[in-house]
Chains A and B, each alone.
Chain A
Amino acid sequence: MKITPELIAQHQLTIAEYDKIVTLLGREPTYTELGIFSVMWSEHCSYKSSRIHLKKLPTTGKYVVQGPGENAGVIGIGGGWVVAFKIESHNHPSYIEPFQGAATGVGGILRDIFTMGARPIAVMDSLRFGPITGTPESAHNRRIVSGVIGGIAHYGNCFGVPTVGGECIFEDCYSANPLVNVFALGVCKENEIFYARASGIGNPVIYVGAKTGRDGIHGASMASAEFTEESKQKRPNVQVGDPFLEKLLLEACLEAMETGAIVAIQDMGAAGLTSSSCEMGSRGSVGIDIDLDLVPQRETGMTAYEMLLSESQERMLLVAEKGREEEVFRVFRKWGLDAVTIGVVTPDGNLRVRHLGHVVAEIPNPALADEAPKYDRPHNVKPHRRAPLDPPAGISAPTDLSADLLRLIASSDLCSKRWIWEQYDYMVRTNTIAGPGSDAAVVRVKETDTSIAMSLDGNGRYCYLDPREGAKLAVAECCRNLATTGAIPVAATNNLNFGNPERPEIMAQLVEAVEGIAEACRFFETPITGGNVSLYNETLGEGIYPTPVLGIIGLMKTAAPAPVRFVREGAELLLLGGFGACDQQRFGSSQYAKVVLGELWGLPPQLDMDYERRVHDAIRAMIEAGIVESAHDLSDGGLAAALAECCTSEIGARVTVPIADRPEQALFGESPSRILVGTGDAARAREIAAKFGVECPRIGATMKVRLQIGSDTHKMLIDLSTSDLTQASETSLPRLLQTQHD
């Protein structure tokens, strides 16, 4: 096939990129080779717009065993054990086909974990959707929500990994660009980690798992373009997942690894057979020769192009020791899976592909991986933001703060997400010590006395107003969540969800956010060990809020963490970190501004990282001292929302808050570095806080059946029954999702 400028454009390559291909090869590429370059050089696989900025992230630290560059990051947890973890997005497929898009997102990240030799023991999800009521797109958004949740549940439940927590936010900007970021974590022995680094000239390259079909061709390039009206026609580009097959693949891979016959292994994710073979070869500085006629195929008549670009799920490529193939085959036979030698490791550093007796592609591995384009895209403008600094005129003073609180905790962002997480098996493997609804999820590692705490957080509103500060706040909140369960944050992964990087004001958002993450991760000593970048989250020229999502993990001694909710009446309530600062400008980023006022303006809350860290140290010391009965960090909705979330149907609280000027700012301001602590020993707790130089006012005590918040001038601000509060929070999401008419 002749390569025309149209064909190049269809492959989302620029003419300059095409010229580089010709230079690297010393000739025109074949059609098959063009396809290979198009996926390997896609934004999704090559990180061409973000790579130079990702270099700014801290990636090393005392716990880090493996940083970015492998299928997942690895950190040591002591006793000879490690955990592998990473977050990845499946945003574009989930919009086009929510159920399968989300399901295969889970499948992909799970393979990234067990390809390292680690058994997955936890999944979390960070989700963003458009509004589910009140807009013309809401009916469609509700279908996306149901599909995505169903897909995640289907895959994780059947595979047998608990989905232990996550976050779910609704904003207009995600209507046509939902975000589905999935985090997974697995555990293995330190000396049993596997890498995707081919070696040993003459070693066989073995294909295992599902057969190759025509599904998912060009999925990686699809994920590297903006959506247009035609995007829905890309449904055939979305793969179909089979979690049962993946479960078999997991067991077979782990068992095959035990034979000692496996040299390297990599899953076939985006760009399938192409990326797995060239990346394994490239990492090991060797070549790989594969013969497509040997590849197990689901349908007949597939071309080389289709086979190489297929994203059929549940497949792995591995390199075994020559002469020990049968040991590997035996394991896969036991599990009823295909395992076939399709190639060999060569010394020449080329990816060479044969089909029907001809060489159809021959490309130096470095050309595909290291030589991929790298752009310093223009970003010397102010980050895109279309919100005023000052509050819009005509915002009236609140008249009924109780009603406002009820409205807030029944809003889609703040309400109980039980409807979602009850569809997930969050307990399978019996390790979940703190599951959904906790500040951080905690999963024990049975083989050790260590547990892993994990938290996902991102705040598009904050980042839209100030990407740098918003990103730092996300890091701080994750670390605060971990500290609240008693864990020490040790490492992080991130998922950078942004719009079109070719627009300088979007690129500026990305650069600011990455630099913010770098600064905060350095400060909190949580190096980034891997992650994912998802760009082009735009539809018809309208981008999402810049949404970096952080996943941070922490270590703690295995023990039941203090619950979020109040456990008894008569416990004293302390506000560790103090009342914080909020002003008119900073109030514009709050959930109150969004839900009650329907506005967005100003700046995100102000973060003092040093103070934040001292708050973490203080709460951990209190937990260690055994005096914490309940603990919940303050975030969306501020103090009042946190108090409401701590109420059970029987136990509430009576609290007094100093009000300077605006009561809504004191109650609903989202100043960070604050944790609501229930204790029976306030004196001791305050002593500990003082030791760390942190404010810790006593604000009240728990009591039966009512939540009452008064001002220091003896004015009742909020007075609600706890049953009304829990009812509002618990019934909201199912009710919103059952909306019939918008």
Chain B
Amino acid sequence: MKAGVIVFPGSNCDHDAWYAVNENMHDRAEFIWHDSTSLGDIDAVILPGGFSYGDYLRCGAIARFSPVMQAVKKFAADGGLVLGICNGFQILVEAGLLPGALLRNRELKFICREVCLSTDTTASPFTSRLNKGQILRIPIAHGEGQYFADERTLDELESEDRVAFRYVENPNGSARSIAGILSRERNVMGMMPHPERACDPLMGSTDGMGVFESMLASMPTAVPVLS
């Protein structure tokens, strides 16, 4: 798998995503600058965490106008895998690739904490190598992570099995404890927790590997992951 990590001005988890794929997964990742109009030869897109454009106006609201987002939309429409982490999730929501919105945390404070997620579906290229109900220890680090959508959208997400992860203990007031969701076609996932921060035993957890391993496993020319 060759992953393209999009770098917006203000992205700051771009290196972490790159490191997780290259060094922890021993796979390949490269950076793509936000004003690129094409993505080049890649198999998956990662929109990393950070504060794109300083999160001014609204998180992700400016980044969605970056030239690269046209290419990302096309890539997604063609069935390519797009993973948005934290600020990346916020951008995907602003860009209309995922439904709902991310509001300020219920306590109105930034929260950095390792949390437990429960795997809600394994029917996706991001979760296929996990077990349903599997608990993952993965950190969150956000000020605006409260997932919000109207009841109809939430019902739809649930009935279409598009909730990827839920918080075991809801840290930020997210609707129905949602931590990550899938697009209707299931090839776009946004999640507030940071799987790239949980790929190295030194960081205290390797549970984030499951997401990247699932992505790798879904590649047409996938090399089986040794476990």
Chain A residues within 8 Å of B, Cβ to Cβ: 153, 157-160, 242-245, 247-248, 335-336, 421-430, 432-433, 444, 446, 558-560
Q: Mark B178-215, 1 if CB is under 8 A from A, else 0.
A: 00000000000000001011011111000000000000
In this complex, the member of A243, A421, A559 whose beta carbon has the largest number of chain B beta carbons within 10 angstroms is A243
Closest to B201 in A: A560
Additional 6 contacts, C-beta under 8 A, given A244-B51, A428-B141, A430-B20: A158-B10, A159-B12, A160-B13, A422-B109, A430-B16, A432-B203
Q: Chain A binding site: helix, strand, loop or mixed by DSSP? A: loop
A432 to B51, CA, bound (A): 20
Residues on B close to A: CB < 8 A? 9-10, 12-13, 15-16, 19-20, 23, 49-51, 53-56, 109-113, 139, 141, 143, 194, 196-197, 199-203
In the bound complex, CA of A627 to CA of B51 (Å): 43
Name the distance in Å between B214's Cβ and chain A's nearest Cβ. 20
Chain A residues lying within 8 Å of B143, measured Cβ to Cβ, are 157
Q: Is the CB of A423 within 8 A of B112?
A: yes
19 A-B residue pairs with Cβ-Cβ distance under 8 Å, sorted by A, are A157-B141, A158-B12, A158-B51, A158-B54, A244-B9, A244-B51, A244-B54, A247-B9, A247-B10, A248-B9, A422-B109, A423-B109, A423-B111, A427-B112, A427-B139, A427-B141, A427-B203, A446-B19, A558-B202
Give the residue name and chain of the B residue nearest to A734 (CB). B107
C-alpha gap A434/B20 in the complex (Å): 19
**Closest residue of chain A to B17, judged by CB?**
A430
Question: Which B-chain residue is minimally distant from A160 (CB atoms)?
Answer: B12
Query: Of A159, A425, A430, which is in contact with the most chain B CB atoms at under 10 Å from its CB?
Result: A430
Do the beta carbons of B200 and A430 come within 8 Å of each other? Answer: yes
- For residue B9, which residues in chain A have a CB less than 8 angstroms away from its CB? 244, 247-248, 335-336
Q: Which 9 A-B pairs have the closest CB atoms?
A: A160-B12, A244-B54, A158-B51, A425-B141, A430-B16, A423-B110, A425-B112, A244-B10, A153-B110
User: A422–B172 Cα gap in the complex (Å)?
Assistant: 13
Pairwise interchain contact B202-A160, C-beta atoms closer than 8 A = no
CB-based contact B10/A430 at 8 Å: no
> Which of B13, B20, B51, B112 is in CB contact (< 8 Å) with A247?
B51
Most buried by B among A244, A444, A446: A244
Interchain nearest-CB distance for B198 vs A (Å): 9
Bound-state CA distance A559–B31 (Å) is 29
Nearest B residue (CB) for A336: B9
Are A430 and B141 within 8 A (Cβ)? Answer: no
User: A157 vs B12: C-alpha distance in the bound complex, in angstroms?
Assistant: 9
Smallest CB separation, B114 vs chain A (Å): 9
Whether A427 and B197, one on each chain, are in contact in the complex, defined by CB atoms closer than 8 angstroms, is yes
Task: Give CA–CA (A247, B51) in the complex, Å.
Answer: 10
User: Known contacts A244-B51, A446-B19: does B111 contact A422 (CB below 8 Å)?
Assistant: yes
A158 to B142, CA, bound (A): 10
Question: Of the candidates B19, B23, B110, B202, which one forms a contact with A425 in the assembled complex, judged by CB atoms under 8 Å apart?
Answer: B110
Chain B residues lying within 8 Å of A248, measured Cβ to Cβ, are 9-10
Known: A159-B12, A335-B9. A430 touches B19 (CB 8 A): yes
Task: Write out the residue numbers on chain B whose beta carbons fall within 8 Å of the beta carbon of A426.
Answer: 112
Q: How far is the CB of A631 from chain B (nearest CB, A)?
A: 17
B10 touches A428 (CB 8 A): no
Cα–Cα distance between A185 and B194 once the two chains are bound (Å): 24
A637 to chain B, nearest CB (A): 26
Q: Whole-angstrom distance between the alpha carbons of A667 and B81 in the complex?
A: 59
Of B56, B111, B112, B197, the residue contacting A430 (CB under 8 A) is B197
**Cβ–Cβ < 8 Å partners of B23 in chain A:** 446
Cβ B12 vs Cβ A430 within 8 A: no
Central interface residue in A245, A427, A444, by most chain B CB within 10 Å: A427
Chain A CB within 10 Å — which of B23, B143, B201 has the most?
A: B143
Q: Decide: B110 and A444 in contact? CB cutoff 8 A.
A: no
Cβ–Cβ contact A430 & B54, under 8 A: no
> How far is it, in angstroms, between the C-alpha of A433 and the C-alpha of B203 when the chains are bound?
6
> What distance in Å separates the Cβ of B17 from its nearest Cβ neighbour in chain A?
10
How many angstroms from the CA of A153 to the CA of B111 in the assembled complex?
10
Min CB–CB distance B6 → chain A (angstroms):
15
Contact in complex: B111, A247 (CB < 8 Å): no
> Given the known A-B contacts A425-B112, A428-B12, A444-B202, are A158 and B141 also in contact in the complex, defined by CB atoms under 8 Å?
no
A160: B residues at CB distance < 8 A: 12-13, 50-51
> Considering the chains assembled together, what is the distance between the CA atoms of A421 and B139 in angstroms?
14
Contacts of B203 in A (CB 8 A): 427, 430, 432-433
CA–CA, A425 and B142, complex, Å: 8
B residues in contact with A335, CB < 8 Å: 9
Bound complex: CA of A538 vs CA of B117, how far in Å? 50
Asked whether, in the complex, the Cβ of B54 is within 8 Å of the Cβ of A242, the reply is: yes
A158 and B55 in contact (CB under 8 A), knowing A335-B9, A446-B19? Answer: yes
A429 to B19, CA, bound (A): 9
> Which residues of the other chain, B, contact A560 by a CB distance below 8 angstroms?
201-202
B residues within 8 A CB of A423?
A: 109-112
B112 & A424 in contact (Cβ 8 Å cutoff): yes
> Nearest Cβ in chain A — how far from B48, in angstroms?
10
Q: Give the residue name and chain of the A residue nearest to B52 (CB).
A: A244
Q: Nearest residue in B to A424 (C-beta to C-beta)?
A: B112
Select from chain B the residue with minimum beta-carbon distance to A560. Answer: B202
A74 → chain B closest CB, angstroms? 22
B55 to chain A: closest CB distance in Å?
A: 7
Give chain A residues whose Cβ lies under 8 Å from the Cβ of B196: 430
Tell whether A243 pairs with B54 under 8 Å between CB atoms, given A428-B141, A558-B202.
yes
- Cβ of B172 to closest chain A Cβ, rounded Å: 12
Cross-chain contact A247 with B12 (CB below 8 angstroms): yes
Whole-angstrom CA separation of A335 from B19 in the bound complex: 23
**A428 and B13: CB pair below 8 A?**
yes
What residues of chain B lie closer than 8 Å to A153, measured between beta carbons?
Answer: 110
Q: How far is the CB of B101 from chain A (nearest CB, A)?
A: 20
Cα–Cα distance between A560 and B56 once the two chains are bound (Å): 38
Shortest C-beta distance, B51 to chain A (Å), equals 4
Residues of A within 8 A of B20 (CB): 430
Task: Enumerate chain B residues within 8 angstroms of A247, measured Cβ to Cβ.
Answer: 9-10, 12, 51
Give bound CA distance, A160 to B14, whole Å: 10
Measured between alpha carbons, how far is A335 from B7 in the docked complex, in Å? 12
A425 to B49 CA separation, bound complex (whole angstroms): 12
Residues of A close to B112: CB separation below 8 A: 421-427
Pairwise interchain contact B16-A428, C-beta atoms closer than 8 A: yes
Most A CB atoms within 10 A — which of B10, B13, B113? B10
- Given known A158-B54, A160-B12, contact A422–B202 (CB-CB < 8 A): no
Closest to A334 in B: B33
Q: How many Å from the CB of B143 to the closest CB on chain A?
A: 8
- In the complex, which residue of chain A has the Cβ closest to the Cβ of B200? A430
Question: A247 CA to B12 CA in the complex, in Å?
Answer: 9
A503 to B15 CA separation, bound complex (whole angstroms): 51
Determine the distance from Cα of A558 to Cα of B202 in the docked complex, in whole angstroms: 9
Query: Bound state CA distance, A158 and B86, in angstroms?
Result: 13
Of A158, A248, A446, A559, chain B has the most CB atoms within 10 Å of the CB of: A158
Cα distance, A160 to B56, chains bound together (Å): 16
Complex: A696 Cα to B13 Cα, angstroms: 45
Closest residue of chain A to B10 (Cβ to Cβ) is A244
A429 and B15: CB pair below 8 A? yes
User: How far, in Å, is B34 (CB) from chain A's closest CB?
Assistant: 11
Which residue of chain A is the closest to B9 with respect to CB atoms?
A248
- Neighbouring A residues of B111 by C-beta, 8 Å: 422-423
Distance, CA A651 to CA B9, complexed state (A): 46
Residues in chain B near residue A430, CB distance under 8 A:
16, 19-20, 196-197, 199-200, 203
C-alpha spacing A248/B201, complex, angstroms: 31
A446 contacts across to B, CB distance below 8 A: 19, 23
Distance between Cα atoms of A245 and B109 in the complex (Å): 22
In the complex where A157-B110, A558-B202 touch, is A429 in contact with B51 (Cβ < 8 A)? no
Assuming the A-B contacts A427-B139, A558-B202, A560-B202, are A422 and B113 also in contact, with contact meaning beta carbons closer than 8 angstroms in the complex? yes
